[in-house]
Amino acid sequence: MQLIALPTFAQGPQPSGGTDRSVWLSYFGDQPLTKLWAVHLEGSYRRTLGLSQFEQLELRPGITLNESPAQQSLIAYTFFRTQPTANGSFGPPPIVGKQTENRIFEQQQITYRLFDKGDSAPQLIQRFRLEQRWQDTAVDGKGHTDKIFSQRVRYRLTAKIPLGRSGLPEHYFVAYNEVYVNATLKASSLFNSDVTYSALGSRLGEHWAVEIGYQFRESSAANGVTGPQDHSLQVYLLSTAPFRHVRK
């Protein structure tokens, strides 16, 4: 399989925070403990598109409550370690060195199966998330600043379309748009970011799947200036494999 280079955009204003082209390698898992409870595990590793520079490490453990087949609640902790790059979006000079962030969030997810066709039905998925963030930024000549606390609200709408007519289709198409809104009174603007993603996925048995897709992210900047932009090749390994046998 050939990977096509992500496009460059020659026209339009350059983002004030840089334009980043990167590769994400990620694991997303909800490992059931019982019919109601599951351990949520995520990990992501990001490098520049040519794989020459490290950009970000993300680790996210949490607890999932399966309230019904169509509704889930999640509370999780996230640790980020980020390294700004020359043309990246994680902070132009004077921000230097490794940046850290600690985050807690509360999430509600609702799944709608269309046309009542079981596992072969298209799905619409709504996700609501409230985040509490503690950011630690290193500035050239000043060392690390005090931790900055902020809150953010996120809403995601996902469409998932199985590429098959019956049973458990082996392949699927998925796309989503997610809007990030600042929920802190001192924020410079209400809008924070907008993320669009699309991918093709393949099931690797009952509990595993892999997705390969493209993500575009646009972030805000002060005074109406065009903010940072990310163009990312995404490779996801997804799992619902239980730690032990769960009685149905």
Q: What are the sequence ranges of the domains in the chain?
A: 19-239
Q: Regarding predicted confidence, which is higher, 133 or 245?
A: 133
Instruction: Read off the pLDDT band of 141 (50, 70, 90).
Output: low
Residues 6+ apart with CB under 8 A from 116: none
Q: Regarding predicted confidence, which is higher, 199 or 190?
A: 199
Q: What is the mean pLDDT of residues 190-207?
A: 94
Closest by Cα among 172, 180, 171, 92 to 130: 180
Task: Indicate the average pLDDT of the chain.
Answer: 84
Predicted confidence (pLDDT) at residue 188 exceeds the cutoff of 90: no
Express each pLDDT in 91-128 by its tens digit.
Answer: 555 566 678 999 999 999 999 998 876 677 899 999 99
Domain spanning 19-239: which CATH class is it, in words? mainly beta
Local structure of 6: helix, strand or coil: coil
Contact of 94 with 106, CB cutoff 8 Å: no
CA distances to 47, 64, 113, 183, 227 from 19, in Å: 14, 35, 37, 26, 9
Place of tokens 């999932």: 64
Residues 6+ apart with CB under 8 A from 52: none
Q: Regarding predicted confidence, which is higher, 13 or 76?
A: 76
